[in-house]
Amino acid sequence: MTDSLPDADPYSEADTLTGADGRVGSDAFAAADAVVYDLDGTLLELAVDWDRVAEDVTAAYAQQALIPPTEDLWKLLDAAEEYGIAAAVEEAIAAHEREGAADSRPFPLGERLLSREDTRPAAVCSLNCEAACRIALETHGLDDAVDAVVGRDSVGTHKPDPEPLLAAIDAIDADPDRTVFVGDSASDGVTAERAGVAFVSVADALADNDI
């Protein structure tokens, strides 16, 4: 069974953010000079059963006779370093992601990106590990359509911390004020807000027929 990537931040809603010039939604998407995309749930869907991932991460704690401090997958990942099992927990998650990336399926926004209709600089900023991102992109021929990839393990923090998004923008030599972040989750919206970057939902990005 394939489940959507669990949200990484306890926010139930993410407001559509306003660009530097006051535009929102599809208008902000069309006006931007560069685009950073989330991966899973935005460009494509990884074939990952996140309940199984959580079970394997919990087992990594149990193997060291540790009581997991929470049932939340991403909080378990964040706590793993303190418990001395960061590498084991990261690999437990990444193994599922790499396998699921090879069996991923493209979404309409990914198919549009593949069509090369949009020639603006593009990057991926994902909560998935970088290797899984690259496998998924290569599987669907999207690697040539993306200029940079920043995954969970690419920089010192992961979404919804703003560092990965800002790193992706820097990697394509773009201006944060002229870039939009396209995503499908509340956590993506929070990431954009913390980075001072306009957020555009998948639906609004697809609504733009001028690209």
Q: Kindly list the structural domains of the chain, giving each domain's residue range(s) and its CATH number in brackets, ordered by start.
A: 25-44+106-206 (3.40.50.1000), 50-102 (no CATH)
Which residues make beta-bridge pairs with 194?
A: none
Contact 130, 153 (CB under 8 A): yes
Please give the biggest Cα pair distance in the chain. 56
The predicted structure's pLDDT at residue 56: 97
Q: What are phi and psi of 134, to 5 degrees?
A: -70, -40
pTM to 2 decimal places: 0.87
Task: Convert 150-209 into a string of H (helix), E (strand) and C (coil).
Answer: ECCCCCCCCCCCCHHHHHHHHHCCCCHHHEEEEECCHHHHHHHHHHCCEEEEHHHHHHCC
Mean pLDDT of the residues in the chain: 90
What's the Cα-to-Cα distance from 169 to each of 49, 113, 123, 126, rounded to whole Å? Answer: 30, 17, 7, 13
Q: What is the pLDDT of residue 4?
A: 52
Q: Write down the pLDDT at residue 26.
A: 77
DSSP secondary structure letter of residue 144: G
Q: Residues of the chain whose pLDDT is less than 50?
A: 1-3, 8-23
- Residue-wise pLDDT for 19-33, tens only, equals 444 445 778 999 999
